[in-house]
Structure 1
Amino acid sequence: MADPSAALRKQVERLRDALTKDGEEKQAASLTGILKAAERLKEITPSRIERSRAYLSGETLGRNTPVPVDRETAAPLAEIIFPGEIDGTAPLFNATVSQAIGTIVDEWTNFEALATVDILPAKTCLIYGQPGTGKTRLAFWIARKLDLPVILVKLDGLVSSFLGTTARNIGNLFTFVNRYRCILLLDEFDAIAKVRDDPQEVGEIKRVVNALLQNLDVRQNIGFTIGITNHPKLLDPAVWRRFEIQLEIPTPDFEVRKAIAAHFMPPVKAPDSHLRMIAWFTEGSTGAEIESLVRTYKKATTVREEDRPGLLDTLRQFATLNAARIQSERRALLFGEPVHLFRAMRDDPIQGFSMADIGDIAGKDKSTVSRWLGRQANAADDKEVTHG
């Protein structure tokens, strides 16, 4: 019990409760004492995260700490989110991306070991990719793992119509964040960090980019900074050089799409064939789009049994209302002759659905599906013989 896991602690608690039920009050009291002693030991033993945080300079943010505001509009320049307010569920990515993300957290949790060889964890990270791929959620999850509050900045909110005010806002913001132990999260980073040579931009924007670069240089040795952008091509090359980590979040592959669908499905229990179909149908989609499709699926399962649409009807409904979010090839198969869709599913080189899977998805028995595909194959053979 010097360093108990959650499972071990649970078993000891069950044993204590069983002893109490059997009237063994003395032994139960002994176990209660052991549990309390272990809890006190845990409270006074600094974790690796706590030791790592000691290396970050600055004060501790409080819930009443005032954030800087724009002088002209009095609008706040940032929002503070504390670790306890952040969802602790790890975002879903492929194994390569997840492993890379793990190294970021590992560096901070092994701060002391790195310090012995005169190495510091990476303090700047740029996360980029398509909208809806989980970039902002990832940044918050990192903050949760490091037990640090987030100062969330919407950079487009820093931009003022008053000449010189934007650069001043940036300066005030960095003065504030450099005072506290925190993660600075620059969302929609491309709003300001644009290419300075863009002929469409006026000199004011160029001065703003210079101010941002200068403040990032100062910030680099003080705290952890994360930038997020959906448009990496808009970033000034000098901005890229300020970030030690440049992490691209790709659209999810099949297994990740299936995992995302399964994650958002409860409390509805969907068969595995339906989860696979959703993952197959959403090829090229983002996690946010898959979540939206799952919501449509869950709504369909709540209607009366006699009115309940099948999976294919649900997918057609979603594709109609979200045409731009679904690959044109998948949409064409979905709205065409069912046999073409079934053949594509059966012949998919990676996921090849079985006749039973297709039958479950189509609401037909597998023998019916087999006959459909057989008739289609015979028709194709007859056509080839005729042309021959």
Structure 2
Amino acid sequence: MDHFPIIQALCRAAVPNASPAVRKQIERLRDALKNGGDSKQAAALTTILNNAERSREIAPSRIERSKALVSGEDLSRNTPLPVDRETAAPLAEIIFPDATDENAPIFDERISNAIESVVDEWSNIEALFEVGVHPSLTCLIYGAPGTGKTRLALWMARRLDLPVVLVRLDGLVSSFLGTTARNIGNLFTFANRFKCMLLLDEFDAIAKLRDDPQEVGEIKRVVNALLQNLDSRRGVGLTIGITNHPNLLDPAVWRRFEVQLEIPRPEFDVRKAIAESFSAPVIIPDSHLRLIAWFTEGATGAEIETLVRTYKKATAVRDGQARELLDTLRQFATLNAARVHSERRELLFGGTGRLFRALRDDRSVNLSMSDIGEIAGKDKSTVSRQIGKIEEDQEDDSING
């Protein structure tokens, strides 16, 4: 279909708030494309529809604030923050719902369903109380840096229309080691007083193994103080801990969290959806999105965002003309060497024939010879010849070897 990238962008913009009639027309377009042999374009519309459905399943309309969920006073922008007595430095920052992203983070179906189950508990508190149980009020989110853990916690707070008391515990330990236990007590006293979500970022900075011979006695006392305060907060409000290093956590800390959610590095389809979500206002062709998803094997959402930003810069400096994608990927791989999978780097900087063959043979990326040619700025026959040359050379090597 001519101008499909524009049609795809219009569908992507319309579908999040689409009426049933609009959604039906997009489905009709998808089916028409599929029946007409445009399976890749039909698949692109299916992805847009599925992503919108997942977002709607955990949309704000499904959340109803309950006074039984949190207690205390309302936080305002003028509420004084707790501070360290010696330095007067604030021990936390307040993030209000209107300052956070309203769009749900993109995860695979398994993670999205798990998050939905927690949200369902919070939105059906009365039903839980009737059968003698309570919603999960403590949650530990862990995984590699850049996988969206903090963004997820802020998004969950937004769904509940709750301000976040954000505490980055790494700074607390490094700056105030001698008075850390007292500061933790002050933080929890503050959080317990107000209706809020207490978000403990860089959780491993304090919650380290108490039997670690490298740690001084002060840290062991800090961990004990943290455990006591976590216990005292039960039944008062929501508490979320975030860590990049779950192996450093004391086993007693793990037991304090009812939900223990691991956020993995995204798989291919999720990487493609993440790249598309960061693309606006640039319209990125579907074949380019698939190559970006293939290229970012093992990457996190934050790293994919960085690559898409590089793509958009390359487009902008050429007056809206898309730069050859392989050049952009090579530029990114050069400037972000540690972020790129070694196998992908080798293919990218090796002979183009090997790269073309890898793209042709990898079913996950699902690129045709024409797609590969468009991406590389070559015609289909040239791509075919370069792949054939590589295969002939390997056959000769096999015979001579």
After superposition, the C-alpha distances for 1:256-279 in whole angstroms (9 at most, x for unaligned) are 100111111111111111000000
Distance in 1 (alpha carbons) for counterparts of 2:89 and 2:352: 55
After superposition, the C-alpha distances for 1:13-72 in whole angstroms (9 at most, x for unaligned) are xxxxxxxxxxxxxxxxxxxxxxxxxxxxxxxxxx87555234422111111111110001
| SS of corresponding position for 2:66 | helix
Alignment partner, residue 191 of structure 2: 177
Distance in 1 (alpha carbons) for counterparts of 2:75 and 2:176: 30
Alignment partner, residue 211 of structure 1: 225
Distance in 2 (alpha carbons) for counterparts of 1:169 and 1:120: 29
The answer on 1:270 being equivalent to 2:284 is yes
Alignment partner, residue 375 of structure 2: 361
- The offset of 1:180, in angstroms, is 1.0
The verdict on how the C-alpha distance between 1:162 and 1:386 changes in structure 2, with shifts beyond 3 A counting, is: closer
Higher-Rg member (1/2)? 1
Correspondence for 1:239 among 253, 275, 278: 253
After superposition, the C-alpha distances for 1:300-322 in whole angstroms (9 at most, x for unaligned) are 11223699741111101100111
The verdict on how the C-alpha distance between 1:144 and 1:162 changes in structure 2, with shifts beyond 3 A counting, is: closer
Alignment partner, residue 83 of structure 2: 69
- The offset of 1:350, in angstroms, is 2.9
Alignment partner, residue 296 of structure 1: 310
- The offset of 1:181, in angstroms, is 1.1
- The offset of 1:187, in angstroms, is 0.4
AA partner of residue 143 (structure 2): G
Alignment partner, residue 35 of structure 1: none
| SS of corresponding position for 1:197 | coil
Residues 1-388 of structure 1 mapped to structure 2, 5 A cutoff: 49-159=63-173, 164-304=178-318, 309-387=323-401
Alignment partner, residue 32 of structure 1: none
Residues 82 and 91, structure 2, Cα contact 8 Å, conserved in 1: yes
- Which sits farther off after the overlay, 133-142 or 355-364? 355-364
- Which sits farther off after the overlay, 364-373 or 160-169? 160-169
Runs of 5+ in structure 1 lacking a partner?
1-5, 12-46
| SS of corresponding position for 1:80 | strand
Distance in 2 (alpha carbons) for counterparts of 1:89 and 1:134: 12
The verdict on how the C-alpha distance between 1:234 and 1:350 changes in structure 2, with shifts beyond 3 A counting, is: same
| SS of corresponding position for 2:207 | coil
RMSD between superposed Cα atoms in Å: 2.1
The verdict on how the C-alpha distance between 1:142 and 1:271 changes in structure 2, with shifts beyond 3 A counting, is: same
The verdict on how the C-alpha distance between 1:48 and 1:61 changes in structure 2, with shifts beyond 3 A counting, is: farther
The verdict on how the C-alpha distance between 1:160 and 1:367 changes in structure 2, with shifts beyond 3 A counting, is: closer
Residues 70 and 158, structure 1, Cα contact 8 Å, conserved in 2: no
AA partner of residue 155 (structure 1): L
- The offset of 1:220, in angstroms, is 1.6
Distance in 2 (alpha carbons) for counterparts of 1:179 and 1:87: 26
Distance in 2 (alpha carbons) for counterparts of 1:7 and 1:55: 32
Distance in 1 (alpha carbons) for counterparts of 2:224 and 2:179: 14
Residues 77 and 157, structure 1, Cα contact 8 Å, conserved in 2: no
Residues 93 and 165, structure 2, Cα contact 8 Å, conserved in 1: yes
The verdict on how the C-alpha distance between 1:176 and 1:350 changes in structure 2, with shifts beyond 3 A counting, is: same
- The offset of 1:163, in angstroms, is 6.7
After superposition, the C-alpha distances for 1:80-115 in whole angstroms (9 at most, x for unaligned) are 111121111000000000110011111111111111
The verdict on how the C-alpha distance between 1:333 and 1:163 changes in structure 2, with shifts beyond 3 A counting, is: closer
TM-score (normalizing by structure 2): 0.82
Distance in 2 (alpha carbons) for counterparts of 1:147 and 1:193: 28
- The offset of 1:325, in angstroms, is 0.4
Distance in 1 (alpha carbons) for counterparts of 2:131 and 2:255: 24
Distance in 2 (alpha carbons) for counterparts of 1:133 and 1:324: 16
- Which sits farther off after the overlay, 281-290 or 341-350? 341-350
The verdict on how the C-alpha distance between 1:179 and 1:376 changes in structure 2, with shifts beyond 3 A counting, is: same
| SS of corresponding position for 2:94 | strand
| SS of corresponding position for 2:105 | coil
Residues 275 and 289, structure 2, Cα contact 8 Å, conserved in 1: yes
